[in-house]
Amino acid sequence: MDLSKIKEFIVQEKLLNKILNSPDEVYPLGTFKSSEEFPLGWTNNINKKLFVDYYEELNQFEKFVFIGLGGSINLAKIASFINPTKIYIIDSLDIKKIQNLSKIIQSEKCAIVVCSKSGTTVETNILRNILSYKNKDSVFYISDHYISDKDKEKTFITQKDIGGRFSLGTHFGILPFYLAGFSINDIVKNINLANKESKENNIDNKAITIASIIYKNYLLNKNILSINSISNDDFIADWLEQLIAESLGKEESGILPIIQNNKFSPNLNFSNDANKYDLDSINIKISYNESLFYEFQIFFYVISILGILLKIQPFDQPNVELTKSLTTKFLESNQSLELEEKYYSLSSFEKKFSENNDNDKEKIISMLIFSSQVDKELLDNLEKLKVFCFKSQIILLVYFAPTYLHSTGQLLKGSFKNIENFIVHLHGNEDQEIPNSLYTLNTFVKNQAISDYMALKKYDRNVQFIQTNKIELNKKVEAILR
């Protein structure tokens, strides 16, 4: 099927109309009990009155620290890149970052914004307890319900029928950009314009074009999508990586997004260059202003169309809750988890890079790093290792907990069973007490690592558990690079 035929099929079958009006005809149920549970609230237009009247209390503050994981924080991360002197984010258990933000919170006129749709995200609550311990009066919440009655006036309520990774048009997406200096009026106009144009049933529809190109490559057995942005630090590629991985990485198949690499076709780039749509490269021209909301909103329709074509339910997230439930079990029992089997050594990790790959396809290796401290030297070496691997027909994916548990975790537990996973727990770091808790941060991190290993094993994934420290891991990475 050539590209024009795919676009014609989407138009003739009126897939966009079915997404909006009869989604039960085009999507499997997935983990939903009925199609009425499909979270499609993001397709509705928004009104600026839902936002502008609620943010006045925040105008008394000069700086803002957003706390959250995955889809709840990804948009705030982009806002922090655009206005780094006013917007700060934390989505990790990095002790150094916690300490730095604690100084800012205590010394500046600073508000804390806790981002958690459910209000029960364990890591988010840990960070809130640490960072707000001496600053409880300046804490605000974004959630789909009131955390408690006393927080009612400080909670920005979002719609329950919009999933976390689709939350662009909610407080999760709009508040951080408003605080960064964006116009709510212009944000609303861009989202509503994207809704209007993306619902049009014609072959010039931008969402139909992008989805068709990605699907055509999928039919050519090219299921790896490279994603890049103007800056590696603007978090835009990370946002799209999560959206694709968590929506379309299911049923042992789907699309595998790789960021900051142009080796694979098609590659999808956000850049200053003119828009271009061809089979090998999709370029989206962007500016760091309100028009971002227009471009981002279109991708929700791209994902929805691809879900139909790939026969995947794009709105649920199966298989990613087990790690959370196992970790919660540890917290409730206050007994550390232990593995019955032996830990593997770093040598087993090194060996993977020297083994011959008999397949025509690239070998895929993921490192899932659990640590309360990761220094710049290690980060730089891991980036060099990624480049080294691509030259050797190896795809190296590097994720840091707890972020990936709430973003690309679906990719590892729900699709691409051929990924060789290494859970790497880095011990020996400086520790951090958690207020009103019987355990420390390092104890939590270790138990979370073991929980994720157990979850991957349960889903019959190829996984090894390595316990080491950042010095030894650095040495091993440098040895591989030599």
Q: Are residues 33 and 71 in the same domain?
A: no
pLDDT score for 142: 95
Q: Which among 157, 176, 63, 168 has a CA at the least distance from the CA of 116?
A: 157
Highest mean pLDDT (candidates 15-24, 312-321, 380-389, 393-402): 15-24
**186-191: long-range contacts (C-beta < 8 A, 24 or more apart)?**
186/289, 186/290, 187/290, 187/293, 188/46, 188/47, 188/48, 188/51, 189/290, 190/290, 190/291, 190/292, 190/293, 190/294, 190/297, 191/45, 191/46, 191/293, 191/294, 191/297
Please, are residues 303 and 396 in contact by the beta-carbon 8 Å criterion?
Answer: no
Q: Choose one of 310, 342, 366: the last residue of a domain.
A: 310
Which residue segment(s) compose the domain that 7 sits in? 3-37+198-310
Is there a single domain that holds both residue 17 and residue 61?
A: no
Whether residue 467 sits in one domain with residue 359: yes
Residue 214 has pLDDT above 90, yes or no: yes
Confidence of residue 148 (pLDDT cuts 50, 70, 90): low
Residues 158 and 262 in one domain: no
pTM: 0.95
In a domain, 352, yes or no: yes
Query: Does one domain contain both 333 and 288?
Result: no
Same domain, 55 and 177: yes
| Residue 317 covered by a domain | no
If one counts the domains in the chain, the total is: 3
**b (16+ CB within 10 A) / e for 200-234:** eeeeebbbbbbbbbbbbbbeeebbbbbbbbbeeeb
Largest CA distance in the chain: 62
What CATH number does residue 397 fall under?
3.40.50.10490
Cα atoms in the Cβ-side hemisphere of radius 13 Å centred on 73: 27
Structure confidence at residue 356 (pLDDT): 66
Distance CA 273, CA 257 (A): 22
At 406, the pLDDT band (50, 70, 90 cuts) reads confident
Asked whether residue 238 carries a pLDDT value surpassing 60, the answer given is yes
- The answer to whether position 166 is within a domain reads yes
> Average pLDDT in the 432-441 region?
88
pLDDT single digits (tens) 256-295 = 999 977 777 889 999 999 999 999 999 999 999 999 999 9
Q: Decide if pLDDT at 57 tops 70.
A: yes
Task: Evaluate whether residue 44 is within a structural domain.
Answer: no
On the question of pLDDT at 428 being above 90, the answer is no
Q: Hey, what are 284's tokens?
A: 């989206």
Q: Say if residues 428 and 469 touch (Cβ distance below 8 Å).
A: yes
Q: Name the residue with higher pLDDT: 261 or 106.
A: 106
Residue 72 CA to residue 168 CA, distance in Å, equals: 10
Element at 425 (helix H, strand E): strand 420-426
Query: Please, what sign has the CA dihedral across residues 84, 85, 89, 92?
Result: positive
pLDDT of residue 317 exceeding 70, the answer is: yes
DSSP per residue, 253-278: EE-EEEES--SSSSEEEEESSPPEE-
Instruction: Give the separation between CA 67 and CA 367, rounded to whole angstroms.
Output: 24
